[in-house]
Amino acid sequence: MEPVYLAFVFVLAIFLGFELISKVPSTLHTPLMSGSNAISGIPLIGAIASLQISDPFLSALLGTLAVALASINVVGGYMVTDRMLKMFKKKEAKPEGGGK
């Protein structure tokens, strides 16, 4: 692929991502983001695919950076989801009488 085409796709993705996220109300943002963690794997696949670009050093450097950042995004999303779900669990009642 030509670099101009890739730059166009990158800028288009930034614009569309900003427009989509800005339209979501803040009360729905966290549940929607935690629910879409499976979709967050798509940038990870794109990062791995970027390793196929013709310049071996630059593509390896940028591809590795992209894989690392996309992985942090996916793992962080699951951590936020887990933390959110723990907020909704009922706390166990402590036994009365101070027994051990």
What is each CA distance from 73 to 32, 36, 37, 68, 79, in whole angstroms? 14, 11, 9, 9, 10
What pLDDT is stored for residue 12 in this prediction? 92
What is each CA distance from 52 to 33, 72, 73, 76, in whole angstroms? 29, 22, 22, 27
Distance CA 34, CA 17 (A): 16
What pLDDT is stored for residue 93 in this prediction? 65
Residue 3 lies in a domain: no
Residue 59 lies in a domain: yes
pLDDT digits (tens, 9 = 90+) for 11-58: 998 899 888 878 877 666 666 666 666 677 777 787 777 777 767 787
Residue 44 lies in a domain: yes
Q: Where are the alpha helices (DSSP H) in 1-100?
A: 3-22, 26-35, 41-49, 56-87
Residues 65, 48 contacting (CB under 8 angstroms) = no
Residue 39 lies in a domain: yes
Residue 41 lies in a domain: yes
Number of domains the chain is built from? 1
* Mean pLDDT computed over every residue of the chain: 77
pTM for this entry:
0.52
Residue 47 lies in a domain: yes
